[in-house]
Amino acid sequence: SQKIEQNSEALNIQEGKTATLTCNYTNYSPAYLQWYRQDPGRGPVFLLLIRENEKEKRKERLKVTFDTTLKQSLFHITASQPADSATYLCALGKYSSASKIIFGSGTRLSIRP
């Protein structure tokens, strides 16, 4: 069955460093992959989408890579700040209105000052 794994449940990073989160998947061939941010007691907020034919996508301090051979996406936050502390979810989707987006369980990122 389809499976998404996000590298660790929690990650602690020193402010200013680059945070790297991993999303691995099996038994699935997504057309695209998305990253969301979720703060405690709030709904997830869409951050970035990367298609299967794209290797890298950037948005301000965020960078996402997508390796369909390794079945892996890496999500980087450069020059991390305490305000970046949140849970980050990856999600996989296909080009079909009938298919559902599949979410990973999330990685809780903490940036310490």
Contact set with another protein (CB under 8 A): 32, 34, 36, 41-46, 49, 51, 89, 91, 93-95, 97, 99-101, 103-106, 108
Token readout for 107 is 């990685």
If the CB atoms of residues 49 and 62 are measured against another protein, the closer one turns out to be: 49
Burial of residue 45 (CB within 10 Å: 0-12, 13-18, 19+) is: exposed
> Are 63 and 78 a contacting pair, CB within 8 Å?
yes
Least distance in Å: CB of 20 to another protein?
20
If the CB atoms of residues 74 and 102 are measured against another protein, the closer one turns out to be: 102
| C-alpha span between 18 and 31 (Å, rounded) | 27
| C-alpha span between 83 and 72 (Å, rounded) | 26
If the CB atoms of residues 78 and 103 are measured against another protein, the closer one turns out to be: 103
Least distance in Å: CB of 42 to another protein?
6
If the CB atoms of residues 11 and 49 are measured against another protein, the closer one turns out to be: 49
Least distance in Å: CB of 53 to another protein?
13
Least distance in Å: CB of 82 to another protein?
20
Closest CA to 75 of 93, 92, 57, 60: 57
